[in-house]
Amino acid sequence: MEPLKNQVRLDGMPALLPHARRVARRASDLRGYFVDDAALEALIRRDNPVIYEVFEPSVPEAPGQIMYGITVLYPGRVGREYFMTKGHYHARRKTAEVYYGLDGQGRLVLQSEDGRSHVDDLEPGTVIYVPPGWAHRSVNVGVRPLVFLYAFPAEAGHDYAAIAQHGFAKLVVDQGGTAAVVDRSSWLAVPSRDHRMR
């Protein structure tokens, strides 16, 4: 493999240039991840927008290599929840990851397999270390695209199934125009809770 050089474009349509892989996740790709299924289905019927995009160079998924790229997470909400990534553990649990905020305002929600949770601000200039064994999900709480760079051991892999099955213990929701972190269990336990956008 030869050395690589990329540039991050933030003006206009954010992207990693050049990139070998671009993945666009639409609202329909996030079924089962948001609390308000009815609001998500209405959004899908309306225009099924792209929620986030991932741009990566061509790096072998092999020991000794470092995978990196940028994620562009667009602003918006599904019901009261802000647009977010699916979130994942690494398939190889003993691998870590680093996030570096480039543009926008967000939160990084982290959760360990033994039930601990942690939420950090993800903003320009912020570096967040995700330790081995912690699931992580980014959430855009601003009005601009949230753009961040990530890097992890290329052989780490992704385990989305555990999150799809159990979700995260913490949600980031709009409460009167402010981003609030709430417990998923208590949020879902209140039958009269209005999860819809206000």
Where along the chain do its domains lie?
A: 7-189
**Band (186; pLDDT cuts 50, 70, 90):** low
Give the pLDDT confidence score for residue 162 in this predicted structure. 86
Rounded distance, CA 157 to CA 42, Å? 32
Supply 167's token pair: 């979700």
The H or E element containing residue 56 is: strand 50-56
Give the pLDDT confidence score for residue 198 in this predicted structure. 35
Mean pLDDT computed over every residue of the chain: 91
Q: What is the mean pLDDT of residues 131-136?
A: 95
- Rounded to two decimals, the pTM is 0.90
Measured CA to CA in angstroms, residue 86 lies from 80, 138, 194 at distances of 17, 8, 23
Q: What is the mean pLDDT of residues 116-136?
A: 96
Class (C level, CATH) for 7-189: mainly beta
